[in-house]
Amino acid sequence: MEWGADDDALTAYEDDSGEKAMLPGYVPREDTENVVTLRADKFDFQGGREFPRGEKYDADSDGDADEDVSALDQTHWSTTDATNGTVSVSNADLDVEKALTVSSSSVAGGETVTAAFSDFALSDAAEKRYLQFVVNVEALTSGATVEVAVLDDDGDEKVVSASPGADTSTASVFAAATGSGIVLQQRLADLTTNANGDGTFDSLDSVEVRIKDADATVTFTALDVERKSRWTFGSYLANEDTDSEERTKRYEPGPGDFTVTGLDTLGASSGRTRL
């Protein structure tokens, strides 16, 4: 359907006979232009699930590698358990076409369990690319840390994390508590390199999700490390009714609901959106 550009369009729909009809309601303005409420994990867009681009696999074992690999498909992930703790990767049934859950059990202090995706390799412009994801943090036990790491071919890595009470104003922290529709988009050059190899982050070889010291569960509804630009999640009117009022794009909305001025502000990253 066409995105609605005004209040009337937001309440219009096509009935069973193909005729335009109107819902028995209205969009309350409440003295604001930011009238549409959304949540990032409800955005079902192709760019959120097409990493790694150009990679194929033989899904039906017929000898032909003719299915697209997606990092949001559990079949492409491997797991490493600890002495006590275990980790599982599963496909999640949500409002989007693909979603991936990583969940741990019985992780003890000092332990790390890992889920890894390595069905890709990029050797150019590594630090110009963005680590991007939309995630629901469904469980984050006291003492737990969840890391999302991008590794190069000799072990150097860029890491972002979530842990209870962490400082979310820090670029490398994506959550400090449970929440839905959390968006992270960080240029890899802007993240510290953990030098586990030669100290130069010059390729992209794998993505790891690590759960440390206690249990956690996270579900990704979008994941990418190839792009050199950010997704946009519509725009809103900042500083309303002031001299500095301006339209501003949303890049990292959430956790939870956020507002935009209209569905017409949503770009290609919005895809099909569940309202």
For the segment 45-59, what is each residue's pLDDT rounded down to a tens digit? 999 999 999 888 878
Nearest of 183, 177, 142, 163 to residue 38 by alpha carbon: 183
Q: What is the mean pLDDT of residues 19-28?
A: 56
The answer to the question of residue 274 being in a domain is: no
Is a pLDDT exceeding 70 seen at residue 16? Answer: no
pLDDT-based confidence at residue 274 (cuts at 50, 70, 90):
very low
Buried b (16+ CB within 10 A) or exposed e, 79-98: bebbeebbbbbeebebebeb
The answer to the question of residue 15 being in a domain is: no
Residue 34 CA: distances (Å) to CA of 3, 107, 130:
15, 43, 28
Q: What are phi and psi of 200, to 5 degrees?
A: -115, 120
Two structure tokens written together for 202: 């010059």
The answer to the question of residue 76 being in a domain is: yes
CA dihedral 148, 82, 205, 61 (to 10 degrees): -110
The answer to the question of residue 154 being in a domain is: yes
Tell me, what's the pLDDT at 15? Answer: 61
The answer to the question of residue 216 being in a domain is: yes
The answer to the question of residue 247 being in a domain is: no
Is a pLDDT exceeding 70 seen at residue 23? Answer: no
Lowest mean pLDDT among 34-38, 40-44, 94-98, 180-184: 34-38
Tell me, what's the pLDDT at 2? Answer: 44
Nearest of 109, 140, 113 to residue 217 by alpha carbon: 140
Is a pLDDT exceeding 70 seen at residue 44? Answer: yes
Q: Rounded to an integer, what distance in angstroms lies between the CA atom of residue 105 and that of residue 89? A: 12
For the segment 142-182, what is each residue's pLDDT rounded down to a tens digit? 999 999 999 999 999 999 999 999 999 999 999 999 999 99
Residue 260 CA: distances (Å) to CA of 8, 236, 252, 256:
16, 4, 13, 14
State how many domains the chain has.
1
pLDDT-based confidence at residue 63 (cuts at 50, 70, 90):
confident
Average pLDDT, whole number, for the chain?
88
Q: What domain range includes position 149? A: 46-223
The answer to whether 71 and 117 are in contact (CB under 8 A) is yes
The answer to the question of residue 9 being in a domain is: no
Alpha helices in the chain (DSSP H): 7-10
Q: Rounded to an integer, what distance in angstroms lies between the CA atom of residue 132 and that of residue 251? A: 10
Model-level pTM? Answer: 0.84
Q: Rounded to an integer, what distance in angstroms lies between the CA atom of residue 129 and that of residue 26? A: 42
Two structure tokens written together for 275: 């309202």
Which CATH number does the domain housing residue 164 bear? 2.60.120
Query: Coil, strand or helix: which one is 14?
Result: strand
The answer to the question of residue 37 being in a domain is: no
